[in-house]
Each structure stands twice: as C-alpha cells, then as structure tokens.
C-alpha cells in the first residue's frame, strides 16, 4: 500500500471525472505542492480529455482494462501485436513518465491506477456488464466474481508473463491487485487460486 495524504484521498476515491477535476482544483488552491501536481494534471488530461473539448468525455484507462483482457486472450496467436499494444498504452497514458517526478510521481501513478481499477470493478458489478459478458443468462454472484477474478489475472499477471513485461507492469499489477482485494473478503485467496489455475493452463 502506497501512502496517500488526506488531501488527495478524496481525489483518488472519486470515480466521476467532472468531480475529480473540481477536487483537483480545490487541492491546488488549498494544499501545499508535493511535487506531483503537474503529473496529476497530465495523467488526468491523457486519461479523460479530447482535443477541442473542455469537459472530460472519455476514460482511456478504463478502456485499457477491458482492452488488456482482450489483448491477453488474442495474443496466443498475435503475441507481437499484443505486446506492442500494451507498450503503446504505457507510453501514451503518461505511465512511463512517473519516474521523472520521483516518489511523488510513483505514488500519483499508483493511486491513479487504483482509481481506474475501482471504476472498472464497479462497472463489472453492473447489469450492462453482466449482459455483455453472459448474454441472455443472468449469472449468479459466484459466476460473476469468478469471471472478474479471471479478468484481473489476465490484465495483470497474465500480460506480465505472456509479454515478458514484469518490470514495466509491476506497479500496474500491484495497484490493480490492491484494489481488487477490497472487493470481497476472499478476493486475495481467490486470486491466488486463479493464478495457480491459469498457470497450469
């Protein structure tokens, strides 16, 4: 768990982009600079903003969660293209720029990933997600949790192992897992079981 100041806790807990922007501006006015504000602003812009629009209109990081799962699933046959796609996100999202802001930048990136994962998990629990995943069937809670656990493994450890990106994705994997274990008392145990199952093939 990466420490976070109370002033920024609300910012990373909030899931709606418009509200996050308001909290960010409030913190700029009221809180001391910790060395990562410029990086936070850049991450926000790269994640949500589109050219010519003043308000957030997309969530590229949320889409990356969904896309990473698909990349893993299809990369058995198209490995080179899959690795290129993951690396492109790391570059275009600002992920690779964290180190230039020191420990404050690494912390800001970690919590931005946590925020993304939290929004993804909330989406997973929605009826639209369940319908898109299971069609006309209505999955029970156990099926839903099992699928979400499998998706978490695919978008983290699965990508690391398949594309040899353990170093590059280490912070991504840690942050997603740290958020995932909050979704259920048995989430950590379930993820360990899923890891053993997926690695056996």
Q: What is the pLDDT of residues 95-125, one digit of tens each?
A: 999 999 999 999 999 999 999 999 999 988 7
Tokens of 191: 């993820």
Report field, pTM of the whole predicted structure over 0.85: yes
Q: Residue 187 belongs to what domain range?
A: 61-200
Confirm whether 148 is domain-assigned.
yes
Inter-residue contact 86 to 165 (CB < 8 Å): yes
Distance (Å, whole) CA 47 – CA 128: 23
For residue 178, pLDDT beyond 50: yes
Looking at the 3D structure of the chain, how many domains does it have?
1
- Alpha-carbon distance of 2 to 107, in angstroms, equals 6
DSSP 99: G
Least confident of 9-18, 57-66, 121-130, 157-166: 121-130
Q: Tell me, yes or no, whether 180 lies in a domain.
A: yes
Q: pLDDT tens digits for 133-174?
A: 544 445 567 788 888 999 999 999 999 999 999 999 999 999
In a domain, 139, yes or no: yes
The answer to whether residue 25 is domain-embedded is: no
Q: Is 33 a member of any domain?
A: no
Question: What confidence tens digit (pLDDT) does each residue in 65-91 have?
Answer: 999 999 998 876 667 789 999 999 999
Cβ neighbours of 29 (radius 10 Å): 6
Query: Does 85 map to a domain?
Result: yes
CA distance 139 to 131: 9
């Amino acid at each position: 768990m990466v420490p976070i100041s109370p002033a920024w806790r609300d910012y990373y807990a909030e899931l709606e982009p418009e509200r996050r922007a308001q909290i960010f501006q409030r913190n700029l006015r009221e809180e001391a600079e910790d060395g990562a504000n410029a990086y936070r602003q850049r991450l926000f812009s790269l994640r949500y903003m589109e050219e010519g629009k003043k308000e957030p209109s997309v969530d590229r990081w949320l889409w990356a969660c969904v896309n990473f799962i698909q990349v893993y699933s299809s990369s058995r046959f198209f490995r080179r293209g899959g690795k290129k796609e993951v690396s492109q996100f790391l570059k275009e999202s600002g992920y690779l720029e964290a180190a230039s802001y020191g420990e404050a930048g690494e912390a800001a990136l970690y919590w931005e990933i946590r925020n993304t994962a939290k929004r993804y998990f909330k989406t997973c629990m929605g009826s639209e997600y369940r319908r898109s995943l299971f069609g006309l069937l209505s999955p029970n809670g156990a099926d839903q949790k099992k699928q979400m656990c499998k998706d978490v493994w695919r978008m983290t450890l699965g990508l690391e192992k398949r594309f040899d990106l353990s170093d590059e994705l280490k912070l991504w994997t840690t942050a997603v897992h740290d958020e995932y274990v909050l979704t259920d008392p048995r989430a950590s145990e379930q993820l360990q079981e899923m890891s053993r199952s997926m690695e056996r093939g």
